[in-house]
Every structure is written in C-alpha cells, then in structure tokens.
Amino acid sequence: QKEVEQDPGPLSVPEGAIVSLNCTYSNSAFQYFMWYRQYSRKGPELLMYTYSSGNKEDGRFTAQVDKSSKYISLFIRDSQPSDSATYLCATFSGGGNKLTFGTGTQLKVEL
Amino acid sequence: DTEVTQTPKHLVMGMTNKKSLKCEQHMGHRAMYWYKQKAKKPPELMFVYSYEKLSINESVPSRFSPECPNSSLLNLHLHALQPEDSALYLCASSQERPGNQPQHFGDGTRLSIL
C-alpha cells in the first residue's frame, strides 16, 4: 500500500465549478500536509500547507484535513481555465525532510 | 517567477559527457534538495543537504554527484548517464529549523540523454 494515494484523473470541469481534489494516506503519524500545483514544464508551486485536522482557506482555495479518516482535500471555488494543472498532495514521512507525494491529479477547467 | 533558480532550463547530452546542473536560492534556507521527475509521475527524492552537509542519499547511482558549495548553491554533477536518466530535475529548498517546513521548488532542468 502506498503511503499517499491520489486519483490521477484527468478531471475535467466547466469554468466556475467547484473542484474537489482528494488524497488518502496510510500512516496516522503524518501531521503536516501540503498541496502543490504544477503547470506543464514548470516546477511544483506550494499552494497550501496545513497542520493536523481542520480547514485552511486562502482565496479561492480551501484545504481540509480529516485525520480520523486519513483523508485530505483541496477545494477550488469558481474554477478558472488558469487552474488547469496537475495538483499534488504531499506529506512528510521518515523525518521532517522527506516529502512523500501522491501521484497527482490532472485538472482541466474548460470554457 | 520562483525564488529557487535552476540553470540550465534544458540540457541535451551524450552518454559520455560530463555536465552540471545548478540551483540557487536566496531565501536563507539551510536545507536543499534534488528531485527527479519523470513524465506524469510525482517528484522522487534523490539527495538532501542540511547545513551544507549531505544528510540523505536515496541510493542514487554514483553517476549523479551532488555538491553544496555554500548555503545558497546546490550543484548536481552528471557523468556517464543512461537514456533512462532523461527526466526533469528539480531543486527545492526549505528552512531547516523547526522541522517539517514546506519545500519550495525551482522550475527544473529538463535533461535529455542521447
């Protein structure tokens, strides 16, 4: 079983839709969770960084962590074509320096 | 623009060549990382430097040789690479203390081995 599982998509939504991206993880010791956005031919860009359970909001983006079910989510409100990218969830494993990524979900927001 | 700068953006080399990838950050971060990313896959950790010392080597073949000349610079020296080493090589940095700090990535060097 992989430490972090993520549906690879692709996920296609119309402009203005609410997007829900999800990951599950296996180790209840994980406490820090990140979402990265990666455009084609670019490096991953940090979107959200959360600790433990709860919600964190930044503009159109909301990150949610449910430690009881080992489930993390990223919601994008009023999605735009510029949100079209691959979204990677990540957590720290094996100590504070090792990032473990999900496989990434490819999102396409269509006009 | 990212705060982690990588050069060159693209590199094509033969299997017998020697080349180097460079990474620079000016955020005062004391941890720096090399990752390898194949198409449609997540980044895979290769090396971690902490306070300019190599702290993690993820069993990377010796044809990849990292170097950290100072706290702002990270190099990856390449020699006798194989076609399967063609990939996007990403550099990242983070604060070292306290732990579990988010990593910030550059845009990578796209490497093609002929």
Question: Do A43 and B99 make contact, defined as CB atoms within 8 angstroms?
Answer: no
Is residue A95 pLDDT above 70, yes or no?
no
Interface test with A, best of B46, B105, B111 (most A CBs within 10 A): B105
Task: Give the closest-approach CA distance of A65 to chain B in angstroms.
Answer: 16
Q: Give whole-number Cα distances, A69 to A89, A91, B78, in Å.
A: 16, 15, 43
Strand partners, B18: B79
Amino acid at A49: Y
Average pLDDT over residues B66-92: 97
List the single range of A64-78, B18-32, B87-101 with lowest mean pLDDT.
Answer: B87-101
Question: Do B42 and A88 make contact, defined as CB atoms within 8 angstroms?
Answer: yes
Tracing tokens 């960084």 back to the chain, one arrives at A49
Task: Give the closest-approach CA distance of B42 to chain A in angstroms.
Answer: 5
Is residue B109 pLDDT above 90, yes or no?
yes
Average pLDDT over residues B43-58: 95
**Which residue among A46, A96, A102 places its CB closest to the CB of B99?**
A96
More confident residue, A54 or B42: B42
Is residue B1 pLDDT above 60, yes or no?
no
Question: Do B43 and A44 make contact, defined as CB atoms within 8 angstroms?
Answer: yes
Average pLDDT over residues A47-57: 91
Give the pLDDT score at A33: 94
Q: Does A56 touch chain B (CB under 8 A)?
A: no
Q: Does A29 touch chain B (CB under 8 A)?
A: no
Query: Rounded CA gap, A42 and B37, in Å?
Result: 11
Three-class secondary structure of residue A12 per DSSP: strand
Q: How confident is the model at residue B59 (pLDDT cuts 50, 70, 90)?
A: very high
Tracing tokens 């860009």 back to the chain, one arrives at A45
Q: How confident is the model at residue A94 (pLDDT cuts 50, 70, 90)?
A: low
